[in-house]
């Protein structure tokens, strides 16, 4: 299980120093995860698992024959509309990936 929760938007968190660097690293990992999901959705060619430690760790969990469950926190607060919308769009992208359980079977 991987927790990708939290807002890493600098203006929203008002983070400084090392926290800014951590937020930037989280955002880069999420971007790389989005790239992997897009490649899996296309179902052909190269999947960029090496672009992030997160995607390297999740490679076996995101590959063919895997089942992925994504939980999204949808906040009813008006100030969280942007975050909730982004999360739901990301979840929609994840949902579009189809896994083929027979691709890794060796005969």
Domain count, the chain: 1
**Cα separation, 67 vs 99, whole angstroms:** 8
Distance CA 94, CA 88 (A): 10
- The CATH number that applies at residue 80 is 1.20.58.980
* pTM of the predicted structure, to 2 decimals: 0.69
Instruction: Return the residue matching tokens 């063919």.
Output: 64
**8-48 per-position pLDDT tens digit:** 666 677 777 887 788 788 888 888 888 888 888 887 678 89
Query: Could you give the maximum distance between any two Cα atoms of the chain, in Å?
Result: 55
Burial class (CB in 10 A: 0-12, 13-18, 19+), 36: buried
Is residue 3 included in any domain, yes or no?
no
- Residue 62 in any domain: the answer is yes
């Amino acid at each position: 299980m991987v927790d990708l929760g939290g807002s890493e938007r600098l203006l929203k968190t008002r983070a400084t120093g090392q926290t800014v660097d951590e937020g930037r690293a989280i955002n880069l990992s999420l971007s790389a995860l989005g790239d992997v999901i897009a490649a899996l959705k296309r179902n052909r060619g190269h999947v960029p698992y090496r672009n992030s430690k997160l995607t390297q760790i999740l490679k076996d969990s995101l590959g063919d024959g895997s089942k992925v469950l994504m939980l999204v926190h949808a906040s009813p607060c008006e100030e969280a509309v942007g975050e909730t919308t982004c999360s739901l769009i990301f979840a929609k992208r994840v949902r579009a990936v189809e896994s083929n359980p027979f691709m890794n079977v060796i005969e």
